[in-house]
Each structure stands twice: as structure tokens, then as C-alpha cells.
Amino acid sequence: MAVSFDLTGKTAIVTGANTGLGQAIAVALAGAGADVALVGRSSMAGTEAAVAKAGGGRSLSIQADLSTLEPVERVISETVAWTGRADILVNNAGIIRRADAIDFTEADWDAVMDVNLKTVFFLSQAFARHLIGKGERGKIINIASLLSFQGGIRIPSYTASKSGLAGLTRLLACEWAGKGINVNAIAPGYFSTNNTEALRNDPDRNAAILGRIPAGHWGEPEELGGAAVFLAAPASDYVHGIVLPVDGGWLAR
């Protein structure tokens, strides 16, 4: 059997697709042939243009605030109304709050956990119910982090959420693999995105981070696209429950 990375005829949902890693993943999936529903709070104009330029699949923008569960069912229903199907879910949307653990507030804890973990679970649940109800196969890709493996500093709720997401990925894989749903995660290393701007602008932290990355540079969002296409494509049909680091070699050092 030929190895296939072709996503023609598939429909993907990518949350947090307006910029950064989400935008790059959406463009990569579209370039592989998928139609992509772009989900987020802000304008998707830049991603829509990038998808159109990449060729391949089309895009649809769905406005949704994932800090609550209100949009969960709507994201699935609007996607299915668009193409008649939903095959791939990429849970990329996430937020971060920075403060010393001794000073961290309940509001910052709850805000991060709601977006990064709670909504991810319930959106995955709604997606799986749709697939199981129709007897169809599908792929879920969670965007974890190096903080799924390490502690970090000054980001207690982010570390907790991403560690929890790794565990959730494994649990859902165990429950849903036999139902035809692959659940896996990607753990990005240090990429040039809005979330890391503060680190890149701090000369000492920037130098310390670069000094540990064997590849010698911050990742560019486009460098994450191949891993997402692999986990979304038929090539990974027997891959379940992994957390795949894409980190320039960070964890190897």
C-alpha cells in the first residue's frame, strides 16, 4: 500500500488559526488538499489569503471565543454545513499568563485552563460524537508544548494545562482508537509567535534559549506544518497517543 499524505476531500477544523502556529498548520493542511474551517476570535483575513495562495483546499472562517463552551457545538455544525463532513480537528488555540507562582491569581489560572484544556476536551468530545454517530474515521491533533515534559518558570497554569493535555491525548487515544479516531499531539519547541515575543525581546532569556537549541534558531511556524499533515493523513493511521516534539532538538540536549 502506498504511503499517502494526501488530504484531498477531507475537512479540517483548526482553532486559533488567525496567526502563528495555527495559521501555519491551516495553510499546510490546505496545501495537502484539505478544506479548512478556521476558528478564532479575531479576523482570519490573513489566513484566508495564505490558504488561497497555497492552493489545494478552501477555507471558511468561524468566529468563536473558546474561553467558554458556547461555540463548541456550533463549530462542528457550521463546519459540517459547509462541506458535509468533519474529518480532522486541530486543537491549537491557547493562551498564556506569566507571573511568579507565589503571586499567581485565580483569574489567570482559570482563564488559561478554560481555553487550553477544558474547551479542548469538550470540542474533541463533540467532534468524536459526530464521527461515531456517522460511523466515520477521523483525526484529532492537540497542540501540546515542551511544557508537557518540563516545568518551566512563571507560567504555572500554562504548564499544568499542557501537561494535562498530554495526558488527555493518551486517554482519548485509548478510548477512541478502536472507534476509528486517532488522537495525537504535537509539542512545539520555541517558535517565533506572539506567545514567545516577551522571551525573544529579553536579551538574557533569548540567548539562554538559543544556546540550548541544537538547530541554532527559533522555530518558524511553517516548520510545524509537516508534522500536522503527517498526523492528519492516512500515513499515520496506526499512530495513536503520541506527543511528538518539534523542537529543533531541545529535548535531546
Q: What is the DSSP string of 172-225?
A: HHHHHGGGTEEEEEEEE-SBSSGGGHHHHTSHHHHHHHHHH-TT-SPBPGGGGH
Residue 165 to residue 243: CA distance in whole angstroms: 10
Q: Residue 172 in contact with residue 119, Cβ under 8 Å?
A: no
**Catalytic annotation on 158?**
yes
CA nearest 156: which of 209, 113, 187?
113
Q: Residue 29 in contact with residue 6, Cβ under 8 Å?
A: no
Question: Torsion angle of alpha carbons 206, 210, 216, 222, nearest 10°?
Answer: -60
Residue 157 to residue 235: CA distance in whole angstroms: 34
Q: 3-class DSSP state for residue 148?
A: helix
Tell me how many degrees the CA angle 235-144-128 measures, rounded to the nearest 5.
Answer: 60
Q: Residue 206 class from Cβ within 10 Å (0-12 exposed, 13-18 middle, 19+ buried)?
A: middle
Going edge to edge, which strands form the sheet with 88-91?
A: 59-63, 35-40, 11-15, 88-91, 138-143, 181-188, 243-246
From 22, 36, 59, 158, active-site residue: 158
Please give the single-letter amino acid code of residue 98. Answer: R
Q: Which residues are catalytic?
A: 158
